[in-house]
Structure formats: C-alpha cells, structure tokens
Amino acid sequence: MDIKDGGSLVSGQSIVELTVGLLAVVLVLIGILQVCRLGMEHTQVMMNAREQVDEMALDDGLEFSGIIPDYLQRVAEGGDQKSYSQDDMLVGGDPQEVRRKIIAHTNPDLLRIWVGTNSMNSLDESSILVDEFDFVYGQSQSKSIELYPIIRNFVVENDSIRMSRRIWMPWMRELD
C-alpha cells in the first residue's frame, strides 16, 4: 500500500517498524514471565528446604546426619575481573583450615590446663566440626521447569532447569 505524502512516496515502513517494535515487546514480556516463573519455583524450593531443616532443628532426639558442608574459601574472579559474575569459580575450602587458623591459636593444650572444660577443647578433639557446632541440614529440589521455546533458543540451550537449595541451621535442642 503506497501513500502519497508531501510529494514523497512512503511505503509500509511504519507497519514494519510497528511489527518489529511489537515483536520486541512480546519477547521482553515472555522473558519477564519466564523469570517470574523461575523466581516462584526458587522461592518454593527455599521454603521446602527451610521447612525440612526447621523440623530437624527442633527435634531433641536428632543424631548427626554425617553430611559435611561444602566449605567455601573464596571466589576466584574470571576473565572479566568482576567479583561474583558468571565466569567466577568457587574455590573450596578445607575444614581443617578452621583448626589451623582458629583453634590452634587458642592453644588448646594450655587452655585445657587452665580451664578444664571449654568449648575449644571439644573442637580440637572432634573429627567433624559440623557435629560440634550442632548444625542440621535440609535440602530441596524442584521438579524440572520447562523453558519457553524462545528462551531456549536465545538464552539457554537447555530444555528445562532444575533448582536445588541446601540450608544449614543451628540445632535448637531443648529450647521448648
């Protein structure tokens, strides 16, 4: 469809611009819907893990689960030189580092002579520090969340995403 406008011929340029603009708006809306859907699922996974760990934290008859947490020592920056970005790597820590850098400085042997029963002695003698700190552990994992095809093609190459959350909490024994 051609329209004569002030001596110049304008072909359907405005229709093409409107179509491209609407397509961009639809893509943004689909992205927002996907992020909202993932956010709601993430919240549900966190609530499920928290509910699980809450029940264990109040259980007086609980025994240590044997699960040892992943100790985080630091975050190694990737090529973009920005902290906590996608190309960063988490550098795992060593639980024995707590003994070397904290407990050893308390001089447990000398402390044992001065104060027979103290919390540093039990930390020095324990093989599993998490057991000494009385932490309980809960975890939850989401069902597979299907991604919209447009998100699959342009953002992530996976068909779906699965979320998981691990939560540690102090054991609240005998606090009734």
Q: Which two tokens stand for residue 149?
A: 């095809």
| Helix, coil or strand: residue 109 | helix
DSSP code, position 103: I
Model pTM score: 0.59
Residues 103-147: tens digit of each pLDDT: 777 777 777 777 777 666 666 666 666 666 677 888 899 899 999
Q: What is the pLDDT of residues 37-51, one digit of tens each?
A: 999 999 999 999 999
| Closest CA relative to residue 38, chosen from 137, 166, 168, 158 | 158
What is the residue type of 14? S
Strands of the chain, DSSP E = 3-5, 8-10, 72-76, 89-92, 135-141, 145-146, 160-161, 164-170
Separation of alpha carbons 25 and 33, rounded Å? 12
